[in-house]
């Protein structure tokens, strides 16, 4: 387990749900729209990198018959899940302590960009998925290839522990290279206030520097995120990829 990741989220766990995107229904509803539920028997779902369980608990409310497992590297994050119907697994995403072919669905929202050995992690997900099981990925990505380089620069400033800075095409390639077939790809924009978005970046100095990087970004980046002046702040688009893939 990466201690830097564990330590970071241990400190963030008790206020993590206050971040505007964490409980936003838009992305979670898009994830649920890609479910392939069994007509008979129970569906088993793994929330990979579940964090505080906002996705798991939302799914539990919509689909009470799904058996949900929430896996995360950080014990303090898992402790924020209060539902007794959700089974919690304290583990690294690259070492899933479950039997082969035991899940119908795996969901992973905004987790895999921290993983430094993605092939191993995807291989583990492949192992625990049943044949024809579905992996649903939700990740923030650059809006277009023209702004990708500056987007990655900003993403690294905001999330220095981040390991991967992938575009839609990058995510598609790494999953297809590891035995998955792309079923459906959705994208959506989540509106955010710039002053709120930069708050998660850490110290006041880093927050100020990140705010300045966005406001003074190249025009192609500002256009790609729809940066708009609103009173004494700015509005911007956070671009999400939601993609379903099937184990072959």
pLDDT tens, N- to C-terminus, the chain (248 residues):
578 999 999 999 999 988 888 988 999 999 999 998 766 568 999 999 999 999 999 999 999 999 999 999 999 999 999 999 999 999 999 999 999 999 999 999 999 999 999 999 999 999 999 999 999 999 999 999 999 999 999 999 999 999 999 999 999 999 999 999 999 999 999 999 999 999 988 889 999 999 999 999 999 999 999 999 999 999 999 999 999 999 99
**pTM (two decimals):** 0.95
Question: Which position has the token pair 């671009």?
Answer: 239
Q: Which has the closest alpha carbon to 50: 38, 60, 41?
A: 60
In whole angstroms, how far apart are CA 108 and each of 93, 139, 170, 226? Answer: 10, 8, 16, 26
Q: Cβ neighbours of residue 185 under 8 Å, at least 6 residues apart?
A: 168, 172, 241, 242, 243
Alpha carbons 220 and 32: distance in angstroms, whole number? 33
C-beta of residue 73 within 8 angstroms of C-beta of residue 91: yes
End-to-end CA distance of the chain: 29
For residue 202, what pLDDT is reported? Answer: 81
């Amino acid at each position: 387990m990466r201690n830097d990741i564990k330590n970071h989220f241990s400190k963030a766990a008790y206020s993590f749900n206050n971040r505007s995107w964490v409980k936003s229904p838009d992305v979670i509803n898009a994830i649920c729209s890609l479910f392939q539920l069994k007509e008979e028997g129970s569906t088993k779902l793994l929330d990979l990198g579940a964090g505080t369980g906002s996705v798991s608990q939302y799914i539990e409310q919509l689909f009470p018959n799904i058996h949900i497992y929430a896996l995360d590297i950080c014990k303090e994050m898992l402790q924020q899940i209060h539902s007794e119907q959700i089974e919690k697994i304290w583990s690294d995403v690259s070492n899933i302590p479950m039997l082969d072919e035991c899940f119908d669905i795996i969901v992973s929202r905004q987790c895999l960009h921290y993983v430094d050995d993605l092939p191993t992690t995807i291989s583990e997900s492949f192992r625990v998925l049943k044949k024809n099981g579905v992996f649903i990925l939700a990740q923030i990505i650059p809006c277009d290839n023209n702004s990708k380089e500056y987007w990655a620069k900003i993403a690294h400033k905001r999330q220095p522990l981040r390991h991967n800075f992938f575009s839609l095409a990058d995510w598609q390639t790494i999953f297809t290279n590891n035995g998955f077939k792309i079923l459906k790809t959705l994208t959506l924009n989540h509106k955010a206030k710039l002053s709120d978005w930069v708050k998660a970046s850490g110290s006041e100095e880093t927050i100020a520097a990140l705010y300045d990087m966005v406001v003074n970004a190249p025009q192609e980046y500002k256009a790609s995120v729809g940066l708009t002046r609103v009173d004494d702040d700015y509005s911007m688009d956070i671009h999400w990829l939601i993609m379903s893939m099937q184990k072959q």
